[in-house]
Amino acid sequence: MAHKSVDLFAGCGGLSLGFEHAGFTVIFANDINPVSANTYLENIQIDKKHFYVGDINDILKNYVKFEEYFKGIDLISGGPPCQGFSMANRQRIIDDPRNVLYKSFLEVLSKAKPKFFVMENVKGMRNKIDEIISDFENILEEEYNISHAVLNAKDFGIPQNRERLFVIGNRIGINSNYLFDCINKRKRSSFALEDAISDLPPLGVKKVKNNTSIENEVIGYFKVEHEYRIDDYYKFINGDKKIDHVYNHKNRYNNERDVEIFTLLPQGANSLHPSISEIMPYKTRNHIFKDKYFKLRYDDVCKTITSHMKFDCNMYIHPTQPRGLSAREAARVQTFPDDFVFFGAQNSWYMQIGNAVPVKLAEIIGGEIIKCL
């Protein structure tokens, strides 16, 4: 029996791919960013006509046009941008104009009435969890059993300290707390960053500024043949697939001072380390810029991969090479398989990766939902 899902705010497809691996068939997806949408369509098994590139509110305004995709749907998922959740903000989340997309997500759920829904968002939203549960209960006409939990990716084998809030609801009579119990039973020891990225080709310093089209053996390639080490981590993200190319593995330009900082910092050190005190450009404001630079540790999990990496990777310095992580290294930390290719400008690869749900975590959540279905 095919289990059908819809992914709203789909981005490049981390959540969809994980659900696909778990056994769902994605029959409709939506995102407003055409670059992310292109990456999604090049990697996820979905008809291009079933991906709407545009505002979710267009779907609501023209719901009759999209209604066929939502009939009898098993699961709707999404991570709507939601900014007004500060404890200091006394206005309800749903009434805050910054959160119109959050409200729109709930309105789609109320029209489609899926058997299950999953909302993923930043950990800070937990501060307003009572409001969030109330919003879901008030807007959804049918009775849903709703629960929530903050899940950390590192607890599920993923080499990344990434905490996110998940809200899950269903209308088929399952206790959603039980579902989270089942998810938490899937916990396992984490891989370290070295497991995730040490097999990729080394990259050298890129000395040419404002030219992302340059490719060579020093700074890397968009696509190049590569013989992977078939180890536990390779199997964790790729399964039994034989992949013979590495994609999106390129270095970006850094000035000489940054390269020197990257070289001098020991693993696990930040901007306050004495090794760079003489060349640190923000010495008078160290209390503000202590995390301006951070060198990752090979023997630990990675810090949270975020979309900020599209600007620079100074907080994600490679443990043994004087550079920031490549997009492929960030993708491996996010447990994207090695044949998942990111399209668009080089900086946009990081944005797409940072905004995604780790694929293996999505696969666990999707797998437990399918068991319930």
How does pLDDT run along the chain (373 residues), one tens digit per residue? 689 999 999 999 999 999 999 999 999 999 999 999 999 999 998 999 999 999 999 999 999 999 999 999 999 999 998 776 665 667 788 887 788 899 999 999 999 999 999 999 999 889 889 999 999 999 987 789 999 999 999 999 999 999 999 999 999 999 999 999 999 999 999 999 999 999 999 999 999 998 888 999 999 999 999 999 999 999 999 999 999 999 999 999 999 999 999 999 999 999 889 999 888 876 665 556 667 899 999 999 999 999 999 999 999 999 999 999 999 999 999 999 999 999 999 999 999 999 999 999 999 999 999 999 9
**How many C-beta neighbours within 10 Å does residue 185 have?**
9
* Residue 81, token pair as written in the block: 């941008």
Is residue 372 annotated as a catalytic residue, yes or no? no
DSSP 293: S
Q: Render 96-127 in DSSP notation, one character per residue.
A: -GGGHHHHHHHHHHHHH--SEEEEEEEGGGGG
Q: How far, in whole angstroms, is CA 334 from its chain's centroid? A: 7
pLDDT at 67: 95
What are the structural domains, with CATH classification, of the chain?
A: 3-188+358-372 (3.40.50.150), 193-354 (3.90.120.10)
**CA angle at residue 143 from 142 to 148, to 5 degrees?**
125
CA distance 88 to 102: 19
Q: Among all chains, which residue has been given the structure tokens 């590495």?
A: 246
Side-by-side strand order, sheet with 3-8:
51-53, 24-31, 3-8, 75-78, 116-122, 163-170, 145-152
Which of these is catalytic: 12, 82, 302, 313?
82
CB distance 373 to 173 below 8 Å: no
b/e burial code for range 10-38 (CB count within 10 A of at least 16 → b): bbbbbbbbbbbbbbbebbbbbbbbebbbb
pLDDT at 88: 60
- Identity of the amino acid at 105: F
Q: Which of 105, 43, 32 is nearest to 337 (CA)?
A: 43
Confirm if 248 and 328 have CB atoms less than 8 A apart: yes
Alpha-helical runs (H) found in the chain = 14-22, 34-43, 56-61, 63-70, 100-112, 129-139, 176-184, 193-197, 232-238, 256-264, 286-289, 327-333, 346-354, 359-372
How many residues are present in the chain?
373
Q: Structure tokens of 171?
A: 């209308």
